[in-house]
Homo-oligomer: A and B are copies of this chain.
Amino acid sequence: MTTKANGLTNLGLVQMACEPEPERNLARALESIRSAASGGAQIICLPELFRTQYFCQEENVDQFELAEPIPGPTTEALSRTARDCAVVVVGTVFERRTAGIYHNSAVVIDADGELLGIYRKMHIPDDPLYYEKFYFTPGDLGFRVFETRFGSVAPLICWDQWFPEAARLAALAGAEFLVFPSAIGWHPDEKEQHGKAQAEAWRIAHRAHAISNGAFVAAINRTGHERPLDGSPTRPMGYSGIEFWGRSFACNPLGVIVAEAGDRDEILIACCDRADVERTRRDWPFLRDRRIDSYGGLTRRAAK
C-alpha cells in the first residue's frame, strides 16, 4: 500500500464535460478516477457538480429533483471506487440536507473508502447564468481540512477562489492542498472582449493563494458549451449559455504551474513534494509575520 511516508503525492485532476444524463456523468467520473489511479494519481479531484450539467443557468424549482443526500448514491459510488483504487477522491454533490435546505457540497473520501467529511460551499455567486443563490444555502461548516492518506486536503468550491480569506483559513487549518472543484466559463457574448482577462484573472487568483499561503493549489474545471434549457425564464445574457473553459491546473507553493490542461477533456497528474510546503514557508515566512492584532476589520462588511 502506498503511504505518505515518502512525502510525494500525485494529484489527479479530472477535467470533463457533463452530459444531460446524470448517470452517464457519474459512470464517466468513476471511470476517470480508475484511469487516473492507474496513471499513479493518489488524490483525485472531480469538477464541481460533475454529475449534472450546470443547472444554475436558470432558476427552476424542478432542478431541486437533482439533489441527493450525503451519504447517498453518488458518495457511495465514489467511496467504492476510492477503496477499490486505494485513492483519495474529492467530489462535489448537489446536497439535499432537508426539505428547503440544499447545498453545493464537496466530499473528501479517504483511500479506504471512508467519507471523511463534507465542505459546504461558503461563497455563493449570483451572476447572469450563475444563479446559485437560488439553489444553494450558504455553507455553515466553515473552511475545513481533512487528513487523508496522501496529505491534508482543503476542498473549496469555484466562487470561493475569489476570496483570499477562504484560502488563508484553510491554510491556517493545516491544508497542504487547496483544491477547487469548479464550473467556470465564458458568456460567449462577451468572450471576445473580456474572455482573456477573465481566464487570466482566474489563474492569478489561484496562484496567489498558493504564494501567500505556501500551499499547493489545484483548480478542476469542466469543459463544454452548455445552454439553458428551453423554457428557462431568465436569460439576460442571451441564449448562448456558458462555454466552460477547462484549463484545470495545479501549482506549487511558489505559484508555479506544474500541470495544466487545455480546453478539452483531460486527466492531469501533478507530482507534488509535500516537503515543498515547509520549505517554501521557511524561505517566505509570511505566516510568521501576519498582523493578527490588526485584522479585526476583516469580519466587517466595509469600514464605513
Q: How far is the CA of A163 from the CA of B292 in the complex (A)?
A: 11
Smallest CB–CB gap between A297 and chain B, Å? 5
Residues of chain B contacted by A143 (CB below 8 angstroms): 294, 297
> Can you offer 11 A-B residue contacts whose CB atoms are under 8 A?
A122-B294, A142-B297, A163-B212, A165-B168, A168-B298, A173-B297, A204-B208, A208-B208, A292-B298, A293-B299, A296-B299
Q: How far is the CA of A255 from the CA of B206 in the complex (A)?
A: 13
Kindly state whether residue A230 has any CB partner on chain B within 8 Å.
Answer: no
Residues of chain B contacted by A205 (CB below 8 angstroms): 208, 211-212
Residues of chain B contacted by A208 (CB below 8 angstroms): 164, 204-205, 207-208, 212
Q: Is the CB of B159 within 8 A of A289?
A: yes
Interface residues in A152-169 by Cβ distance below 8 A to B read 159, 162-166, 168-169
Smallest CB–CB gap between A43 and chain B, Å? 21
Smallest CB–CB gap between A205 and chain B, Å? 6
Q: Is the CB of B124 within 8 A of A163?
A: no
- What 10 A-B pairs have minimum CB-CB distances, sorted nearest first? A208-B208, A164-B164, A173-B303, A162-B286, A201-B211, A197-B254, A295-B299, A204-B207, A298-B298, A123-B289
Residues of chain B contacted by A304 (CB below 8 angstroms): 173-174
Residues of chain B contacted by A201 (CB below 8 angstroms): 207, 211, 254-255
Taking A169-B298, A197-B256, A208-B212 as known contacts, 17 extra A-B pairs with beta carbons closer than 8 A to each other, sorted by chain A number, are A122-B294, A162-B212, A163-B289, A165-B298, A169-B294, A169-B297, A172-B303, A173-B297, A173-B304, A200-B256, A201-B207, A204-B208, A205-B208, A207-B208, A290-B301, A292-B300, A296-B299
Kindly state whether residue A287 has any CB partner on chain B within 8 Å.
Answer: yes
Kindly state whether residue A138 has any CB partner on chain B within 8 Å.
Answer: yes
Residues of chain B contacted by A169 (CB below 8 angstroms): 294-295, 297-298, 303
Closest chain B residue, CB of each to CB of A202: B211
Smallest CB–CB gap between A178 and chain B, Å? 14
Residues of chain B contacted by A301 (CB below 8 angstroms): 172, 287, 290, 292
Residues of chain B contacted by A198 (CB below 8 angstroms): 254
Most chain B CB inside 10 Å of its own CB: which residue of A124, A290, A301 = A290
Q: How far is the CA of A238 from the CA of B120 in the complex (A)?
A: 50
Smallest CB–CB gap between A240 and chain B, Å? 18
Interface residues in A269-304 by Cβ distance below 8 A to B read 284-287, 289-304
Smallest CB–CB gap between A300 and chain B, Å? 6
Kindly state whether residue A125 has any CB partner on chain B within 8 Å.
Answer: yes
Closest chain B residue, CB of each to CB of A143: B294
Q: How far is the CA of A169 from the CA of B298 in the complex (A)?
A: 7
Q: How far is the CA of A168 from the CA of B300 in the complex (A)?
A: 11
